[in-house]
Amino acid sequence: MQNILPKTGSIKDKVVAEDLLAERKNLNFDQLELTNFVFGGEENYKNYQEWTKILESDPILHNHHEFYEFTREEQIEHNLQKVKRMYEIDKKKYFQDYSEGYFQWYYYIFKGISPYGLHSTMFVSCIDCLSDDEQRAKWLHMAKDFKMLGCYAQTELGHGSNVTGVETTATFDKQTDEIIINTPTITATKFWPGELGKLTNFAMVYANLISNGKNYGVQPFLVQIRDFENHQPVQGVEIGDIGSKFGFNGKDNGFIIFNNLRIPRGNMLQRFSELDREGNFKVKGNQKALFSVMLMGRVQLINFSSFGLHWALLVGTRYAAVRRQFANQEGDKLERKLLDYQTHMMKYGPFLAYSIAFRFAVTDLIKMHKKLLAGLVNNDFGNLELLHHITSGYKSVFTTLSYDAIDEIRQSCGGAGFLSWSSLPSLQQDFAPNTTFEGDNTVMLQQAARLIMKNVTLVMKGKKPHEFFAHLELIKDLPVANKTLSSVSEVLELEYLDLALATRAAFKIRFFMEKYMTTEATENEKLNSLLAIDILPMVKAHVMYTTFRHFRQGIESNGFKCENLKKHFRNLCRLYALNELTQDNQSLYECGFFTQGTMKIISQGLKQLLQEIRPHMIPLVESLRIPDSILVSSIGNSYGDIYETQLEWAKGSRLNKSTTIKGFKELILPIVNGKL
């Protein structure tokens, strides 16, 4: 028996699915206010709309689904054409005078990976932040105008997250006033830098400065690697692309080996250090500033964790609002929407809460990073240690959670999500390296632990910790008195949820510190061999609490005008907390904060929130107003067209250009016909 389905959408006929229209009618808040927020501000969203108009009106810039079947070479060439076209349209606006910031046109309108994204961020930022005034005046305009194309060459074959272990050498030759760049071992080969293999003519090389027989540690050097005229490698380098990867295949990641390549002494970036004609090295500021550019990279990864997760939710939630499966609704032969299954909402509801929580966190983080960059000009490094802690922890936790969520959203869309046409596989594959970029996520958690331990030591000495670590004062009050809950309304109080998450973090931190203080071993042994696995859960609990704090405080401090929007925010904030407490609550039982029956009430509260949020899922998720021209999805488009376009794109697939596949007639047909 055939079930009658509501009218589905059609991109071709410009018809929106009835189910999607019905979902949109539940909008009860100022969606534009939320849109501006999820895009990182009203100005960012206006810029995005401008970029979209340019893209949609230009045949070269226009995105199309054929991209999903492109080879690596075709993806790179396709996006090189887009870079050239944007340069032709307005080179002054989009290149020469463009301020990189945290929301770049080339990351948000390209299908696939921008071929020069790292040039425009990491390479240009190095010149801008680490060069002295003379160097900056000489190089910055060349880099922004694409006359100097650069990459950020820090990672080596044998050293990634361990920057201090970099082996590449830069030896000063006093006789010629030059610096000689060398790759002394196979593990010193620069390996992974984006844009290096084929596309750039300069590299920002991080290498050990050796002068007058002394090693002064890792410094940045501007190194020309290809000829300006013919783009051929200069003498003294061996260079190429590293090959195909799990994802991110539209990016040219390369390797380079240096063999006595000479550069002028003045090509060492000298805002924070200096090498004079006699080879004397002088520090002019905090040497940690040399790695401040990595902070920019981490901030951007944290930023895109929210955006990327929300992007996947936009596709998945639209599909789940239109796709119906199994006629199991009481008194109705109509099949049930995927989004109406509690199990589906148990995935998507918390994912939306995490996406919005990450957005509140990165909003505060960007403000802190801007303040740091402004201070660097005057050698003010006041927030550097704290920002290193935050970006290390948040980058690790946010990218891991977002990647896992994108994968689960893809799985929840069944076979339709597994198809490249859905856009989810490419999103997942291109997001995948974010868990490794700018530091392995486990190492990042270990680095974030240092400042936690430092502030715990202050608390144990009776001193005040930094305000960011105020929750560590709870350590003094553990174990806590029993907190018995009697109703769901109690568990939904934000103050209670704040205390629960803060207590969970404080208990895990105290648990680790007690082990650390009583274990008889060297610090190295304790942190790397004996107690290493205890570090990770304590840092994650700390990050999840401070993220909740950003969320809770940000609802009131960001000046939102729409009361209904703030109501939705509070519910999502509650959902974030309850999901966290559902997944990890053992510590709260151990310290006495939870008692028998607590989780039963938390479960009831979580289910109640899912019911309250369910009618508003489409209006909330669609606040990320990514047009179909950028989304390019057979199941997540704005029409709710989940069948017609999917079939049309399948019919037009490359393999269907002929009735058989190459090799079949020659290799298999003879077997079928008994001729072999």
Annotated binding site for FAD: 155, 194
Which of 326, 389, 391 shows the shortest CA–CA distance to 365?
Answer: 391
**Partners of 182 in the β-ladder:** 169
Q: Phi and psi dihedrals of 460, rounded to 5? A: -70, -20
Residue 223 to residues 165, 201, 278, 422: CA-CA distances in angstroms? 20, 9, 21, 42
Residues 6+ apart with CB under 8 A from 441: 395, 396, 397, 399, 400, 435
Place of tokens 């802190």: 368
Give exposure, 483-498, as e/b (b: 16+ Cβ within 10 Å): bebeebeebbeeeebb
SS3 content of the chain, % helix, strand, coil (to 5): 60, 10, 30
* Cβ pair 635, 642 in contact under 8 A: yes
165-to-218, 256, 340 alpha-carbon distances in Å: 9, 17, 53
Nearest residue to 231 via CA among 320, 288, 148: 148
Contact 503, 588 (CB under 8 A): yes
207/210 Cα distance (integer angstroms): 9
- Binding-site residues, in ranges, read 155, 194
Residue burial 77-109, b: 16+ Cβ < 10 Å; e: rest: ebbeebbeebeeeeeeebbeebeebbbbbbbbb
Contact 95, 87 (CB under 8 A): yes
Contacts of 485 (CB under 8 A, 6+ apart): 491, 595, 597, 598, 601
Tokens 């002494």 belong to residue? 265
427, amino acid identity: L
Residue of 394, 369, 396 lying closest to 383 (CA atoms): 369
Evaluated on CA atoms 517, 522, 527, 531, the torsion sign reads negative
Contacting residues for 377 by C-beta, under 8 A, at least 6 apart: none
HSE at residue 162, side-chain half, CA atoms within 13 A, is 8
Helix (H, G, I), strand (E, B) or coil at 279: coil
Tell me the angle at which helices 342-376 and 31-38 cross, rounded to the nearest 10 degrees: 50
Q: Which residues are catalytic?
A: 438
Backbone torsions φ then ψ of 168, nearest 5 degrees:
-55, 135
DSSP β-ladder status, 273-275 and 237-241: unpaired
Q: Which two three-digit tokens encode residue 158?
A: 């044998």
